[in-house]
Amino acid sequence: MADIPGAPPVPLSQLTRAQDRITFLYLEHCVVHRDANAITARDTRGTVHIPAASLGALLLGPGTTVSQQAMVLLAESGSTAVWVGEHGVRYYAHGRTLARSARLLEAQATLVSQRTSRLRVAREMYAMRFPAEDTSGLTIQQLRGREGARVRRLYREHAERTGVPWTRRDYDPADFGGGNPVNQALSAANTSLYGVVHAVVVALGCAPGLGFVHTGHMRSFVFDVADLYKADISIPIAFDIAAADVADIGAETRRAVRDRLKGGAFLDQCVRDIKTLLSQDDEVTEYGPEAFDDADVVMLWDGDGKEVAGGVSYGSDDL
């Protein structure tokens, strides 16, 4: 039998676990290509090699040209390519990731489709943000009210800490430069955070659009998960950048978010939080290459929640 044309896929055993990867890398005004199992970025200053198997999300900004082979390598390595606007503020599209198993996706769809389970997950999300409070008996309206009051309080506290004037969150997605420095920094920090969370969501095989608190947007679940971390990441970084009076707010904010997330601890936490939220029991397993051992096993639905093996002829020879 003739060999399948093209470069062979990267063996699963050589891939880095989602929580152990580099969080994200932003590129602009360069040519992105492939050299063996590395992504290359070339501009007038030279060429940089990037290990694809250890990259979480590659944010492709204005002026980037990416080759087909680079995209093949990113897909095989389980790295998410996200096309973004200038400063990384606008999201346009994302590429395919490694996940082939639908286990978490099925759990997510089941939970979000039933009012009782959806409310339970929403309460758990708010409980992660309010560890000292009991949210088990609150309605979604009460939870939203508490979250709004909490965020406004955080803005005031960081404004007092940094001396940055603050009135309210005010921004135009189509006009990054139209906001004041702290609102620009908040937009850039949130977008960087969304990129990393988006990479984790799709790497786990979940649906970005099936949110529990947010709804109606193709990244509703991304916004749900990212909101768990804004108080510790986006908001303090944005006020620090605004207080520093830097020349390029977008670039400095992205670098600050990158430095805050590096080391893998954030990815590990994000993976565990998503699996905890979608778990229907107390078992939360490690997410690594071994989780894909049955990735290419296709089952058939048999009714009553049962499954049978695919690739088998169940018909009678007499038919």
Residues that constitute the known binding site for Mn(2+): 147, 214, 227
Q: Which of 315, 294, 162 is nearest to 241 (CA)?
A: 162
Class of residue 41 by CB neighbours under 10 A (exposed 0-12, middle 13-18, buried 19+): buried
**Strands 65-66 and 31-35, bridge-based pairing:** parallel
- Binding residue positions: 147, 214, 227
* Backbone Cα Rg of the chain: 22
Q: Under a CB-based contact definition with an 8 Å cutoff, are residues 24 and 226 in contact?
A: no
Contact criterion met (CB below 8 Å) for 132 and 126:
no
Closest by CA position to 279, among listed 45, 43, 104: 104
Whether 38 and 67 have beta carbons less than 8 Å apart is answered as no
Cα–Cα distance measured from residue 174 to residue 222, given in angstroms and rounded to the nearest whole number: 20
The DSSP letter of residue 14 is: G
Strand intervals (E) in the chain: 22-27, 31-35, 38-43, 46-51, 55-60, 65-66, 80-84, 91-94, 299-303, 306-309
